[in-house]
Amino acid sequence: MVATYIIEHTGDDLSVAFYLAAAGAISFFVTLRFPETYKAVLR
């Protein structure tokens, strides 16, 4: 449904690929902000 909406409003079939690339980049940078818990003591 989102893909259909984006294609209808932009008229470009590749707009969905740009949308997914942007979502992936945002997700990647958000996960970099999480602290590392590899050696953290469990409570």
- Taking only the tens place, the pLDDT of each residue in 5-38 is 999 999 999 999 999 999 999 999 999 999 999 9
d(CA 25, CA 21): 6
The confidence score (pLDDT) of residue 3 equals 93
What CA–CA distance (Å, rounded) separates 20 from 26?
Answer: 10
Q: What is the value of pTM for the model shown? A: 0.73
CA distance 34 to 28: 11
Confidence of residue 42 (pLDDT cuts 50, 70, 90): confident
What residues does each domain of the chain span?
A: 2-32
